[in-house]
Amino acid sequence: MSRPGARMIRKLRRCESGSIAVEFALVAPVLIFILAGVVDIGGATYAKLSLDARVTATAEYALLQPAPADQAAAEALAVKLIELLQGGADDTAEVIVNNAASATWTGSAVTTASRPGDAEMCYCPTLQGGDVTWGQAMECTTPCASGESAGQFVQVSATTRHITIFPGYAFIDGDRIETRTVLRVP
């Protein structure tokens, strides 16, 4: 190697003027990846908590309402509850009152439907495979398999869409976040 080339290499070895920029270039992708993960998990947590809050508020309102005395009262309660539960265009929600009436929000409209149950009777609902099984209609004084007496119940459920940067963490299944509660009306 010629003498001027060797001098140039020695000079570059001693020069530290760009070392911080090189270190930042090596560390920045890792920091950006961590920041993106924190933002993504924060957004998913916010979506889950706001959905939980809507379902909880709707359930608390249902607790203040009297048990439906007939099919028309069950349908009216279902519509009133679904109006409280409505969300954005990507959200869906469903309210089932005593397995007799249901109301569904699909992001743009509310639909109601009659269900096979009897609004005046009581049930002993159970959770099987993530779904509520209502069982047979019975008198309200009849004991359930759990030992409690049968009652009138409301199921409130909602889902929202959350597109994640990093799919597959604990409480998100695919791109949907969902929550549900079943409560006994007084």
* Residue extents of the structural domains in the chain: 19-184
Query: Which tops the pLDDT comparison, 166 or 110?
Result: 110
Tell me the percentage of the chain whose pLDDT exceeds 70. Answer: 94
- For residue 89, the model assigns a pLDDT of 67
Can you tell me the distance from the alpha carbon of 150 to that of 129, in angstroms, rounded to the nearest whole number? Answer: 21
Position of tokens 């003498």? 3
Q: How confident is the model at residue 62 (pLDDT cuts 50, 70, 90)?
A: very high
Report, as an integer, the average pLDDT of 95-115.
89
The model carries a pTM of 0.77
Q: Which residue has the tokens 């140039």?
A: 8
Residue 110 has pLDDT above 60, yes or no: yes
Q: Residue 78: phi, psi to the nearest 5?
A: -60, -45
- Residue 169, pLDDT score: 63
pLDDT band at 52 (very low <50, low <70, confident <90, very high): very high
Q: How many CB atoms lie under 10 A from the CB of residue 65?
A: 16
